[in-house]
Amino acid sequence: MDYPHLEVNNLTFQRSGTKILDIEKLSINKGEFFVIIGPNGAGKSTLLRLLALLEKPSSGKLIINREVIDNSSNRLAVRRRMAMVFQDSLLFASSVFENVAYGLKARRYSKNQIGKRVRDVLVKLSISHLADRKASELSGGEAQRVSLARALVLNPEILLLDEPLASLDPPTREVFRTDLIRLVKEEKLTAVFVTQYRTEAQILADRVAVLIDGKILQVGTPEEIFNYPEKEEVARFVGCEILVPGIIEVNNEGLAIVKVKDNEIEAVTPVREGEEVIVCIRPEEITLGIDSKSEERTSARNKFLSKITQIRHNGILTKVDLDCGFPLVAVVTKKSAEELGLVKDKEVTASFKATAVHVIRRG
């Protein structure tokens, strides 16, 4: 199949006169695990509800398998080719079996077919023992498994997932995530997963779309999105804490010198001389040294004498805010921070490679 499974063209959605979504183009391929990330209020859930045909767009086209879905379409028939799992399990006040059987009953499957399919999916999700349990008696993780079973039992072409892991505790989330990937791949489903958590996108996605303020700002593989954000807003959302404006002074076959305030940073970029840019250096790419020997040991092309302006402990990691004429943030383990004796106002050398510098065109 060389056409997208799910396609959105010039889609807008307004609520009370406010434009919530404005998406020029979005294509999702068959069998793809597609993750939409964005901050709270970006319009992610609204987009998913539009894709699930639970809302009607203000304008634009939704195309599924080359079929344009409009007002004349049999929306119920199209909806029955998909299934959606929400952030909260939203189980009905009945048994687990009845919950999982719900969509099959709506489609008027025979009792035998329902029994077989429900039992099969409960086995796949390792929740057969819960079949007769009342939904209200389940733990959060169990309830969300039932919610996923309720969608998977329908054998949908497209599985839509609206932050289904958000309300789970970390260990449960991890197990659930592993099972989710396995089942989606086993069943060869097209999955659209919405989340505000970057880690989930990195783990789950074949491709990622970044949705901010109702607009898709970038679509790409997790590596492209997280290492090479194309826009300042994307860079900020994917974890580049420090974004500094600069100008390309020289570009010699891809190795450029970027003027940032009074400093020069070497960067690998195709951006041409004279262009205004934003320089983005991820905290994990920066190495800190406290003596001249450590400076010599590193092969990094960028080395800056810096002053520590703040130390922020965050679990086993420590973030170190630096001033080297422009702001930088480095991240080290708490143990390293202690060994290096990192304290406020101490002078250190911050080093990073030219390949670690990501350059974004401004505007």
How many residues sit in the footprint of another protein (CB under 8 A)? 24
Using CB under 8 A as the binding rule, whether residue 107 contacts another protein is answered as yes
Share of the chain residues as helix, strand and coil, in percent rounded to the nearest 5: 30, 35, 35
Q: How far is the CB of 79 from another protein (least distance, A)?
A: 6
- Contact yes or no for 13/46 (Cβ under 8 A): yes
For helices 140-152 and 111-124, give the axis angle rounded to 10 degrees: 130
Count of alpha carbons within 13 Å of 313, Cβ hemisphere only? 10
Question: Site for another protein (CB under 8 A): which residue of 145, 150, 198, 353?
Answer: 150
| Nearer to another protein among residue 79 and residue 177 (C-beta) | 79
- Helices and strands in the chain, H and E counts: 11, 20
Asked if residue 36 binds another protein (CB under 8 A), the reply is no
Give the span between the Cα atoms of 128 and 268, in whole angstroms: 54
* Given 15, 66, 70, 92, the residue binding another protein (CB under 8 A): 92
Shortest spacing between CB 124 and another protein, in angstroms = 18
Enumerate residues 46-85 that contact another protein by CB under 8 A: 49, 52, 54, 76, 79-80, 82-84
Q: Are 302 and 354 in contact (CB under 8 A)?
A: yes
Cα–Cα nearest to 69, from 86, 77, 43, 216: 77
Interaction residues for another protein, span 259-298 (CB under 8 A): none
Q: Does 106 bind another protein (CB under 8 A)?
A: yes
DSSP-assigned letter for residue 74 = -
Nearest-angstrom CA–CA distance, 128 and 125 = 8
| Distance from C-alpha of 201 to C-alpha of 67, rounded to nearest angstrom | 28
Phi, psi of 316 (to 5 degrees): -85, -5
152: contact with another protein by CB under 8 A: no
The nearer residue to another protein, 54 or 243, going by C-beta atoms, is: 54
User: Of 78 and 265, which CB lies nearer to another protein in the complex structure?
Assistant: 78
Site for another protein (CB under 8 A): which residue of 151, 184, 248, 256?
151
**Interface segment toward another protein; rule CB under 8 A; list 89-97, 176-184, 282-290, 309-317:** 89-97
Q: Does residue 332 contact residue 312 with C-beta atoms inside 8 Å? A: no
Identified binder of another protein from the candidate list 102, 181, 196, 336, rule CB under 8 A: 102
Q: How far is the CB of 38 from another protein (least distance, A)?
A: 20
> What residues make contact with another protein under the rule CB under 8 A?
49, 52, 54, 76, 79-80, 82-84, 86, 88, 90, 92-93, 102-103, 106-107, 134, 136, 150-151, 154, 160
